[in-house]
């Protein structure tokens, strides 16, 4: 069948990928959105092939990962692409969020709110996948995080036991986590499509601010080649880590099968959770820790209502620019401190920067 140019599918591709009106002054920083889409496709495809060979039973989950790495043809490649692809996903999404803050993307409320929802689902999906290898850190990480739900008044213990399906993290828990980890990426894909629809309704913002988004040119070839170049650079860096340091981001303790009778000396999550882990640790009240854990992401939702001047880009205010870079430094330091042991001076420094992180969002309201 020969498609004419007026065919609906051809017209949709033409509107989205070729003739999409795009601000002429955007830079390579705007590439992260398309790169994140490619990362999601990689995770779904590699995850599907891993699910074919993965055995979600308590006794065989760990050995099935070893079987994939050793016996399945190119299994080591697929597993490495999937495991390191999760790190790449977060490595790209954090600058994507930072760019949205710096260039006032949060004024487009539907786009911003759907983006925050994507981040929450992504964190949940990554945590579920983090449990599946069923090593020491996977098991104890699942135990620690799910135990936080017991801090919810009245119904916390009931919810925790319902998630476990038993009186501890067990075979039923692993089965449920595997099922959810398989299904959530498709929910994530649906919300990303909604996010893109909202984006195409409002159009991309630009460094001069949302209200000055007038000078536009077509997406192809001016920006499609930028996306391709960005993809090639990220792909080369990704393959460098995948080939030369495939286990760089994996805790050595996770190469030991899960043992409920032996607690690892230092339990810590993957690097992209260390920021949240640093906020959680050393809060004496468990419920306060859970609230702080969720507020670290949900606090992004107040940004559209915190900035008073909606006609002047966020970065054009010198105070806001300084606050933004303090926020970036605070995020990086909290990520580092999340991997540090629970002793002085790290405990005090964590508390200071945890306070600074939440304080920044309230300072923005009074200086914007």
pLDDT surpasses 70 at 61: yes
Cis bond before residue 345 (omega within 30° of 0) = yes
For the question of residue 226 being annotated catalytic, the response is: yes
Structure pTM?
0.89
Mean pLDDT of 67-90: 91
Kindly name the residue from 67, 171, 200, 220 that is annotated as catalytic.
200
Kindly name the residue from 226, 253, 286, 312 that is annotated as catalytic.
226
pLDDT surpasses 60 at 283: yes
pLDDT of residue 2: 44
Kindly name the residue from 87, 114, 138, 227 that is annotated as catalytic.
227
Mean pLDDT of 61-88: 91
Kindly name the residue from 195, 204, 210, 251 that is annotated as catalytic.
204
Give the SS3 label for residue 203. Answer: coil
For the question of residue 200 being annotated catalytic, the response is: yes
Q: Which tokens sit at 320?
A: 């806001």
pLDDT of residue 312: 67
Which CATH code fits 268-368? 1.10.287.980
187-210 pLDDT per residue, tens = 999 999 999 888 888 777 777 765
pLDDT surpasses 50 at 113: yes
For the question of residue 204 being annotated catalytic, the response is: yes
Q: What are phi and psi of 22, to 5 degrees?
A: -130, 135
pLDDT surpasses 80 at 12: no
Same fold, 32-143+169-261 and 268-368: no
Domains of the chain, residue spans: 32-143+169-261, 268-368
CATH fold of 32-143+169-261? Cytochrome Bc1 Complex; Chain C (1.20.810)
Mean pLDDT of 69-74: 91
Confidence grade of residue 320 (pLDDT, cut at 50, 70, 90): confident
Burial state string for 15-45 with b = 16 or more CB within 10 A and e = fewer than 16? eeeeebebbeebeeebbbbbbbebbbebbbe
Q: Of the candidates 62, 350, 134, which has an alpha carbon nearest to the alpha carbon of residue 143?
A: 134
């Amino acid at each position: 069948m020969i498609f004419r140019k007026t065919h609906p599918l051809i017209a949709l591709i033409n509107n989205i990928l070729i003739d999409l009106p795009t601000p002429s002054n955007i830079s390579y920083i705007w590439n992260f959105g398309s790169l994140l889409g490619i990362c999601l496709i990689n995770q779904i495809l590699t995850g599907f092939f891993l699910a074919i060979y993965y055995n979600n039973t308590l006794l065989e989950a760990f050995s099935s990962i070893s079987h994939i790495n050793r016996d399945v043809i190119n299994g080591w490649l697929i597993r490495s692409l999937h495991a390191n692809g999760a790190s790449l996903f977060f490595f790209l999404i954090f600058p994507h969020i930072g760019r949205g803050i710096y260039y006032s993307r949060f004024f487009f409320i539907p786009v911003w709110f759907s983006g925050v929802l994507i981040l929450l689902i992504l964190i949940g999906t990554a945590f579920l996948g983090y449990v599946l290898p069923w090593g020491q850190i996977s098991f104890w990480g699942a135990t620690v995080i799910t135990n936080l739900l017991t801090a919810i008044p009245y119904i916390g213990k009931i919810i925790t036991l319902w998630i476990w399906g038993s009186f501890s993290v067990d075979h039923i828990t692993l089965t449920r986590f595997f099922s959810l980890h398989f299904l959530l990426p498709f929910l994530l894909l649906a919300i990303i499509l909604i996010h893109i629809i909202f984006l195409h309704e409002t159009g991309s913002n630009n460094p001069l601010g949302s209200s000055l988004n007038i000078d536009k040119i077509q997406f192809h070839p001016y920006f499609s080649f930028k996306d391709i170049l960005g993809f090639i650079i990220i792909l080369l860096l990704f393959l460098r880590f995948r080939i030369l340091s495939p286990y760089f981001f994996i805790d050595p303790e996770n190469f030991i099968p899960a043992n409920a009778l032996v607690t690892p000396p230092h339990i810590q999550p993957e690097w992209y959770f260390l920021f949240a882990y640093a906020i959680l640790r050393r809060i004496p009240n468990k419920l306060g820790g859970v609230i702080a854990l969720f507020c670290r992401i949900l606090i992004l939702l107040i940004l559209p209502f915190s900035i008073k001047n909606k006609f002047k880009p966020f970065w054009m205010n010198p105070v806001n620019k300084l606050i933004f870079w303090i926020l970036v430094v605070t995020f990086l330091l909290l990520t580092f401190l999340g991997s540090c042991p629970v002793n002085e001076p790290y405990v005090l420094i964590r508390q200071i920067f945890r306070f600074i992180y939440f304080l920044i969002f309230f300072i923005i309201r009074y200086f914007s």
